[in-house]
């Protein structure tokens, strides 16, 4: 879930069609004309209970407005002191949401100047212009206006020693020659393995469900996150590379190694709940030495090197070195895709779990009816006949985007607009968007802070997909080699749909408890009610 910023954030593998039939065109490729027709089709209602009714939602007009040009409010404070003060507020005194809310209120503007963590001594320049509404945010997607070089994780870049000495795809700007080559390689990965995605997902996640049932039976509850980590990595290994990592020398160590490797890259952006002074010094002031993780990384690298020969051959045809290709495949699979599933799947199930029994009943009825009418098989065609399920996945991506932040450095002097004013940005200035504010903009979405499962059902609901922005681009647009939109965005949507479909084929309802973890929410399942048919 690459061009998305702020890690895990990313879900950002590069994909092309997962299914070769026209009714399987959910996975984006610029070369598949049927995909556009699919995405334009309204999500029409077909559920047994009437969906919740939202007031009419009218997206703002795209017609130019003569907004007043205002000076961007806010300041960066004194050197060292200003960045440290903002970092302290962001991580310890306020938290991200309150940090931005308080400044919106202070400046009476959704566009303002501030510092973004980590600041000294990891990032040499922490100054950004924050864009916190749905109108200003999309400038960060426009690579004719912003540069995306080395800003995947924001105002700092992890050491390339963590990625074999290479600047991997996520850190490349589209203007760089290897960007196109590497993105084409990721397209090839998904297209060449498209027929394995649904069956391998069914195998891995049905095994996960059995494990959840067994643990609940024994202990009364079970961690979804831990079980999901193993299942996600097994699924990715088998569907992308034809090998179960558990059957190799890597064994079941993959998810744990990946989590440690992610920590070494993302620790300046994480809080682990340690005492404030200890955490600030250990995690937010200096980079952890890559040497400490090298042996573990090499174990991952060995797995990918041994099981990607065909992909390395394709990389050579594209003009890439085999070694560079392997490090990029590892990053795309472990950081972008596994990291994304690690964050997105618990969030999706938390939102659905909190929504309660009525939504569970509607989803179960719709999913079972759709599968039954398609010969009892889970297919792309069957899932296209499940409007509530599709909308539920989109709403989960909107309400809690797996990508929380985006960055872009102005290529030239720009004028950007919020809903209320226009602002001048100078060439070279860094712009920053906090995505949860853009996707919950109350001027776009009615009941913007609420999870409304059927929000995107129907023609009017589908128009709002342009404001679902988690993929470094609008949901109703497509990635290409010339932009930085997550080329795997429809792969992410697909596996989210598969999770709900397989779950509600098996269960009528479930109950949960929710906690926190360093990389997202911690989900504990306390009850699973097996399907009554």
Per-residue exposure over 203-238, b if at least 16 CB sit within 10 Å of its own CB, e if not: bbbeebbeebbebbeeeebbbbbebbbbbbbbbbbb
Q: What is the C-alpha to C-alpha distance for residues 138 and 473, in angstroms, rounded to an integer?
A: 7
Query: Cα–chain-centroid distance for residue 433?
Result: 15
Nearest to 123 by CA among 329, 322, 372, 407: 407
Q: Is 486 annotated as a binding residue?
A: yes
Torsion of Cα atoms, 431 then 436 then 439 then 441, to 10°: -90
* Pairwise CA distance, residues 364 & 354, whole Å: 16
> Quick check: 250 and 330 in contact, CB under 8 A?
no
φ/ψ bin of 472: left (φ > 0), alpha (ψ from -120 to 50), beta (otherwise): left
Identify the CA nearest to 496 among candidates 329, 339, 336, 340.
340
Distance CA 177, CA 172 (A): 9
Q: How far apart are CA 207 and CA 204, in angstroms?
A: 5
Is residue 149 classed exposed, middle or buried when 0-12, 13-18 and 19+ CB atoms within 10 A define those classes?
middle
Residues 371, 43 contacting (CB under 8 angstroms): no
Residues 6+ apart with CB under 8 A from 208: 227, 228, 230, 231
- As given in the structure block, the two tokens for residue 81 are 């002191």
CA–CA dist 324, 359 (Å, integer) = 46
Query: Is residue 171 a contact partner of residue 146, using CB atoms and an 8 Å limit?
Result: no
The 8 Å CB, 24+ separation contacts for 91-97 are 91/117, 91/271, 91/279, 91/280, 91/284, 92/271, 92/276, 92/280, 96/404, 96/434, 97/436
Q: Which residues are annotated as a binding site?
A: 486
Binding residue positions for heme: 486
């Amino acid at each position: 879930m690459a061009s998305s910023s702020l890690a895990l954030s990313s879900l950002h593998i590069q994909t092309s069609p997962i299914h070769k039939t026209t009714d399987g065109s959910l996975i984006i490729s610029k070369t598949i004309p049927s995909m556009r027709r699919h995405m334009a089709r309204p999500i029409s209602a077909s559920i047994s209970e009437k969906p919740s009714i939202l007031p009419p939602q009218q997206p703002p007009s795209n017609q130019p407005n003569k907004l007043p040009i205002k000076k961007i409010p806010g300041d960066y404070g004194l050197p060292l002191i200003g960045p440290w003060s903002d970092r302290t507020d962001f991580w310890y005194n306020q938290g991200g949401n309150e940090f931005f809310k308080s400044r919106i209120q202070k400046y009476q503007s959704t566009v303002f100047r501030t510092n973004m963590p980590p600041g000294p001594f990891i990032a040499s320049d922490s100054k950004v212009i924050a864009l916190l509404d749905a109108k200003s945010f999309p400038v960060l997607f426009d690579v004719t206006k912003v540069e995306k070089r080395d800003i995947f994780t924001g105002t700092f870049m992890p050491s390339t020693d963590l990625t074999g000495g290479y600047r991997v795809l996520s850190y490349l700007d589209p203007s760089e020659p290897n960007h196109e080559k590497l993105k084409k390689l990721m397209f090839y990965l998904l297209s060449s393995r498209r027929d394995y995605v649904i069956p391998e997902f069914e195998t891995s996640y049905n095994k996960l469900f059995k494990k959840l049932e067994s643990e609940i039976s024994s202990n009364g509850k079970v961690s979804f996150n831990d079980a999901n980590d193993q299942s996600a990595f097994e699924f990715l290994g088998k569907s992308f590379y034809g090998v179960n990592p558990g059957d190799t020398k890597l064994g079941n160590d993959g998810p744990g190694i990946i989590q440690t490797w992610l920590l070494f890259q993302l620790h300046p952006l994480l809080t682990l709940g340690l005492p404030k002074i200890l955490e600030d010094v250990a995690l937010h002031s200096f980079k952890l030495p890559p040497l400490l993780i090298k042996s573990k990384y090499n174990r991952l690298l060995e797995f990918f090197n041994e099981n990607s020969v065909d992909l390395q051959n394709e990389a050579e045809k594209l003009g890439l070195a085999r070694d560079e290709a392997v490090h990029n495949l590892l990053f795309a699979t472990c950081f972008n895709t596994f990291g994304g599933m690690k964050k997105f799947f618990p969030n999706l199930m938390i939102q659905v779990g909190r929504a309660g029994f009525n939504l569970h009943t509607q989803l179960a009825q719709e999913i079972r009816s759709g599968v039954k009418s398609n010969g009892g098989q889970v297919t792309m065609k069957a899932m296209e006949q499940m409007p509530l399920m599709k909308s539920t996945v989109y709403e989960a991506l909107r309400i809690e985007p797996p990508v929380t932040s985006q960055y872009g450095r102005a290529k030239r002097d720009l004028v950007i607009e919020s809903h209320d004013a226009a602002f001048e940005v100078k060439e070279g200035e860094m712009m920053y968007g906090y995505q949860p504010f853009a996707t919950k903009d109350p001027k776009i979405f009615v009941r913007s802070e609420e999870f409304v499962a059927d929000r995107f059902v129907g023609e009017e609901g589908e128009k709002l997909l342009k404001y679902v922005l988690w993929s470094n681009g609008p949901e109703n647009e497509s990635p290409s080699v010339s932009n930085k939109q997550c080329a795997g965005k429809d792969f992410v949507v697909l596996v989210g749909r598969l999770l709900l479909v397989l779950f509600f084929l098996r269960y009528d309802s479930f109950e949960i408890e929710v906690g926190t973890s360093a990389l997202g929410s911690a989900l504990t399942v306390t009850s699973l009610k097996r399907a009554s048919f």
